[in-house]
A and B are shown apart, each in its own frame.
Chain A
Amino acid sequence: AQTVTQSQPEMSVQEAETVTLSCTYDTSENNYYLFWYKQPPSRQMILVIRQEAYKQQNATENRFSVNFQKAAKSFSLKISDSQLGDTAMYFCAFLQGGSEKLVFGKGTKLTVNP
């Protein structure tokens, strides 16, 4: 079974600075997809960014980018120019190609300080 590990239960960053959240995963397959979800205090899950394993280019969405290292099975999220609204739980998730089941890590609580 696939597993997703987020080794940082909590992190904090100053407003306008950059922070990187770590995620590693375990799979023996080559076809899969990786996601970062954000859960603010409202508890609504919001998709932040998505990466297809067969694409070498790292995905980017505005201030959010990933560092996808397929050989190392690592998928970190970089948040640039952190804003107070980025304060949230962040979940890394894995989806096996051909599967419908999204597997989540335990999350990292990020606090952006003014």
Chain B
Amino acid sequence: DGGITQSPKYLFRKEGQNVTLSCEQNLNHDAMYWYRQDPGQGLRLIYYSQIVNDFQKGDIAEGYSVSREKKESFPLTVTSAQKNPTAFYLCASSPSGLSGHYGYTFGSGTRLTVV
């Protein structure tokens, strides 16, 4: 079955450490996205990529970095510069162009906690 796989489901980070969240899709979608979800805040866009080797900052990119070396993969690194990284992180994908207007497909998320 086609879908998006996020791993790990739960992740614990010590202060000052960088951690990388994995997102893989086998839907042959061109565009991929990372959102952060906090209670009462909805979903906020961190980074997005419309094509391999290209990505753009979203609304809250500070303290995060991404890469898009393969169409299927869009990993998110939470750096030590992110002062409040504890949150639920959702990865999504969509076809590009008009097909993308049918909405995103989401992964099951990663819960990151700073210890």
Using a CB–CB cutoff of 8 Å, the interface residues on chain A facing chain B are 9, 33, 35, 37, 42-45, 47, 50, 52, 91, 93, 95, 97, 100-107
Contact = CB atoms under 8 A, between A and B. Distances in A.
Contacts of B90: 45
Contacts of B25: none
A44 B108 contact: yes
B101 A97 contact: yes
Interface residues of B, number: 25
B102 A43 contact: no
7 contacts: A45-B104, A50-B102, A95-B100, A100-B94, A104-B43, A105-B42, A106-B42
A101 B45 contact: yes
Contacts of B31: 100
Given A44-B108, A95-B100, A107-B42, 20 more contacts: A33-B103, A35-B103, A44-B106, A45-B92, A45-B106, A52-B101, A91-B43, A95-B101, A97-B101, A100-B50, A100-B96, A100-B100, A101-B45, A101-B48, A102-B33, A102-B45, A102-B103, A102-B104, A103-B45, A106-B40
Nearest to B42: A106
Interface string B31-68: 10101000011111100101000000010000000000
A43 B88 contact: yes
Given A43-B88, A43-B109, A101-B48, A50 B103 contact: yes
A77 to B, nearest CB: 14
Contacts of B92: 45, 102
A42 B94 contact: no
